[in-house]
A and B are shown apart, each in its own frame.
Chain A
Amino acid sequence: MRGNSLFVPGDSGLHRLHPLTKLILSLFFLVLAATLPSLPWLLTAFVLLLPLAIWGGLLRPLLKSSLAVIIPFVISLSIIQGFFTPGETQLFKLGDFVFTLEGWLAGLKVASQLLLAISGALLMMLSTRPDQLMLALTNAGLPGSLAYIVLTAIQIFPRFQERAQVILEAQQARGLEINVNIFKRIRLLVPLLGPLVLSSIVDVEERAMALEARAFSRAGKKTSLLVLKDSGWQRTTRWCLVLLMIALIGFRVWQVFV
């Protein structure tokens, strides 16, 4: 599977779940991240997510990707919240600036919210083929053309990068100097973007025709080679998760206003 997709091929139970189940699961973690009241709750939820990743054989890629995103946030949020949130417990002082425990914990809370939301999304993306997800969404009423755009974006962008590289190399072969300072480098974009954009515009017309030749705009019901397996317990789980999410959001809103 080449392309920008995060999908890790596998045959685990998680992989075999219906894409909608995984999508709703990831939304559920997003709602948890937004509604759980404190750091311990959030971390508990994250720990409960890990067995799912282990079930899919995806613990390593999940931790790798989510930590890579989250660590810069942990550092920056800790610093900012720690120094700028007033609190009673002073941890240390830098000149006139006081680093408070309350601030630091507030920073960690935001970071852990991000961690939970991102891990939930990764759980779905790592274990679900993009075309299966799109098929599930199309079956649920998403317009086919929208699904097409998402799927081609995943595959065509890397081709775009390859083409840009070819153009750059061709220009270099004709004497374009690319190892120069940053200001000259911006000017380098002109000989790169010209051919890239022009050739892409020409391609669009032909692509559109080729799609028509494959009956893309044909009226009537479309079928699918892919088979999505669904089951009663998954449907039940999805509804339960949706109800839980509504309850969580409702509870949170009630807390804020009452």
Chain B
Amino acid sequence: MIRFKEFTYRYPNQVNPALDSINLGIPDGQFLGVVGPNGAGKSTLCYALAGFVPHFFHGSLAGGVYIGKLDVQQSTLGELAGEVGLVFQNPFNQISGARFTVREEIAFGLENLGLVRKEIERRIEEALEIIGLEEVANRSPFALSGGQQQRVAIASILAMQPRLLVLDEPTSQLDPQSTQEVFRILEKLARRGGTTVVLVEHKLEWLASFVDRVIVLSEGRVVLDGKPIKILADEELKKIGVGQTQYSLAATAVKKKNLVPKSKSLPVTLKQAQSFFK
């Protein structure tokens, strides 16, 4: 179980808190989607989970974040690195630059964890296979496309086998097919592997069909929290500035013309949309 207890955090020299009295419990193995407009505190939430808040950014904070029995504030970044894996948005900056092939790049984190060579090799092969990077395993990570680099970044963290995997818009440079693959992998990790996955993502349609739960952040607070079907259909989303799924937008347009009863709830997945428009 991962817990935020009355967690409030303010970046140095900022008046408004980036996260404001967050109370949140994430059960082990849950696949949680995080949405919210720019500046809502999504990235800060990720940093708080991985310990960058407060160990990297400083600033003032109250309350606490706990990963199982681990108190994030009392642990060092080095200790947290094996427990929490954080994937950032920009793939280029996540390539260590100290290794010359994709295979060695994935090994970098494992070497830092001090794993024995056999285990490193096993995990590399596993990560390459899961993420689908076998064909470029011996190429320089800098010679890859943005999408491939993004996969390398995910594979590098995945291989470290963290209990909690946090991803801050990891599909920004991926095409729809690769995005779907990443979602499938994350779903599999959560369902079968018991890894807790926290995913910040703008692509609402994907969230709707894959995650267990969605929270909506606005101005540093959790304003909506629940099943994706319920949350993503909420008319509030538009006011908050998150937008809606393509299906909801189409359904709203149809509702306006009184073609369907007003009481009918908005669809957020393809399946729901099919039955809505029948």
Interface residues of A (CB under 8 A from B): 1-3, 129, 131, 147-148, 151-152, 155-156, 159, 203, 206-227
Bitwise, B105-117 to A at CB < 8 A (1) or not (0) is: 0011111111111
A83 CA / B88 CA spacing, docked (Å) = 64
Q: Measured between C-beta atoms, what is the minimum distance from A161 to chain B in Å?
A: 12
> Would you give the shortest CB distance from B274 to chain A, in whole angstroms?
41
Residues of B near A224 (CB, < 8 A) are: 111, 117
Given A2-B140, A152-B96, also A214-B109 (CB < 8 A) = yes
Shortest Cβ distance from A176 into chain B, in angstroms? 25
Kindly identify which residue among A215, A218, A227 contacts B117, using a CB–CB cutoff of 8 Å. Answer: A227
Contacting pair B111 A2 (CB below 8 A): no
Contact A212 B93, beta carbon cutoff 8 Å: no
The B11-26 residues at the A interface (CB cut-off 8 A) are none
Tell me, in angstroms, the Cα distance from A210 to B153 when the chains sit together.
Answer: 9
CA–CA, A208 to B98, complex, Å? 13
Contact A214 B140 (CB under 8 A): no
Task: Pull 17 A–B residue pairs with CB atoms less than 8 Å apart, ordered by A.
Answer: A3-B140, A129-B100, A131-B99, A151-B97, A151-B98, A152-B97, A159-B92, A203-B93, A209-B88, A213-B50, A214-B81, A214-B156, A215-B109, A218-B82, A221-B114, A224-B111, A225-B121
Does B36 belong to the interface (CB within 8 Å)?
no
Does A214 contact B160, Cβ atoms closer than 8 Å? yes
User: Is B90 engaged at the interface, CB distance under 8 Å to the other chain?
Assistant: yes
Task: Supply 4 further A-B pairs (C-beta < 8 A) apart from A159-B142, A214-B108, A225-B121.
Answer: A151-B97, A155-B140, A213-B87, A223-B111
With contacts A2-B140, A131-B100, A225-B104 known, is A217 near B88, CB below 8 A?
A: no
B79 at the interface (CB under 8 A from A): yes
- Bound together, the chains give a CA A227 to CA B117 distance in angstroms of 9
Once A214-B81, A214-B108 are accepted as A-B contacts, the answer to whether A131 and B98 lie under 8 Å apart by CB is yes
- B contact residues vs A (CB 8 Å cutoff): 47, 50, 52, 56, 76-79, 81-82, 85-88, 90, 92-94, 96-100, 103-104, 107-117, 120-121, 124, 140, 142-143, 153, 156-157, 160
- The complex places the Cα of A3 from the Cα of B98 at a distance, in Å, of 11
Chain A residue at minimum C-beta to C-beta distance from B106: A225
Q: How far apart sit A73 and B86, CA to CA, in the bound complex (Å)?
A: 53
Which among A210, A219, A225 is the interface contact of B88 at CB below 8 angstroms?
A210
Q: Is the CB of A206 within 8 A of B90?
A: yes
What residues of B have a CB within 8 angstroms of the CB of A147 in the complex? 98
Report Cα–Cα, A159/B120, bound state, in Å.
28
The docked-state distance in angstroms from the alpha carbon of A152 to that of B112 is: 16
Q: Which of B52, B110, B114 contacts A220 (CB 8 A)?
A: B114
Across the interface, which residues of A come within 8 angstroms of B111, CB to CB? 222-225
Q: Contacts A212-B52, A224-B117 hold; do A155 and B142 have CB atoms under 8 A apart?
A: yes
Does A213 lie within 8 Å of B85, measured CB to CB? yes
Taking CB atoms, residues of chain B closer than 8 Å to A217 are 76-78, 81
Assess the A223–B88 pair: CB atoms within 8 A: no
Leading 3 A-B pairs by shortest Cβ distance: A218-B78, A215-B81, A152-B97
Q: In the complex the two chains form, is A1's CB within 8 Å of B56's CB?
A: no
**Are A210 and B94 in contact (CB-based, < 8 A)?**
yes
Contact (Cβ within 8 A) A148 B114: no
Residues B81 and A213 in contact, CB atoms below 8 Å apart: yes
B115: nearest residue on chain A (CB-CB)? Answer: A223
User: A106 to B111, alpha carbons, bound, how many Å?
Assistant: 52
Q: Which residues of A contact B156 (CB under 8 A)?
A: 214
